[in-house]
Amino acid sequence: IDITSAPVVSDGALVGVATVFDDASDTERGRAASEQQWAAFQLIIQNTQDVILRTDPEGVVRWVSLSIDRVLGWRPADVVGRWLVDLVHPDDRGAVESLVARVAGITDDDASEGAEFRMATPDGDWRWMSDSARALRDRDLAVSGGLHALRDIGDEVAAREALAQSEERYRTFALGSLTAEA
């Protein structure tokens, strides 16, 4: 029950109190449902295989999912407040700077931008990541930052490199065979 009271004054003298009783059951049920939905969302987002992070328009990490520990070995507190580009291999920083700029310029709410790059681990190793990013908007629909979904693609990159090496060996062998026949 939501109770609201107000004094009743007549000729400058307090003559009583007016009280209104409102059934707040729907409000409480709505609040409880919202809290349950928020808890479910937190459970999903914190346990995804991808690293989810939010950046401001300049690319500074403002929030990161707990999965960053499992995927890259970082604690969220070690990443929040840093520029995303600071965690990227020097050879790949241009791609990430370009990605952050493209995300800031997205005008279509359904659009996303992507890039592949190497990210640092706390022990100095590098992991190949794929980033699918989209713009986050504030209440005035201005871009307030980016939402990034980072996925470890190390196995995929290794497979592509192995295929490229295999194709190169085959070309070398085929060209050698043609030269030997001539």
Alpha-carbon distance of 135 to 104, in angstroms, equals 6
DSSP assignment, residue 50? S
What's the predicted TM-score (pTM) here? 0.69
> What pairs with residue 150 in β-bridges?
51, 131
State the residue for tokens 């190390």.
154
Q: Would you state the pLDDT for residue 54? A: 94
Q: Would you state the pLDDT for residue 182? A: 61
Query: Which run of H or of E encompasses 55?
Result: strand 51-55
What length does the chain have?
Answer: 182
Q: Quick one: which of 125, 132, 128, 168 has its CA closest to 53?
A: 132
3-class secondary-structure state, position 70: helix
User: Per-residue confidence of the chain (182 residues) as pLDDT tens digits?
Assistant: 778 888 888 888 888 888 888 887 777 777 777 888 878 877 777 777 899 999 998 899 999 999 999 999 999 999 999 999 999 999 999 999 998 888 888 777 777 888 999 999 999 999 999 999 998 888 888 888 999 999 999 888 888 888 888 888 888 877 777 776 66
Are the C-beta atoms of 10 and 18 separated by less than 8 Å? Answer: no
3-class secondary-structure state, position 155: helix
Q: Would you state the pLDDT for residue 70? A: 92
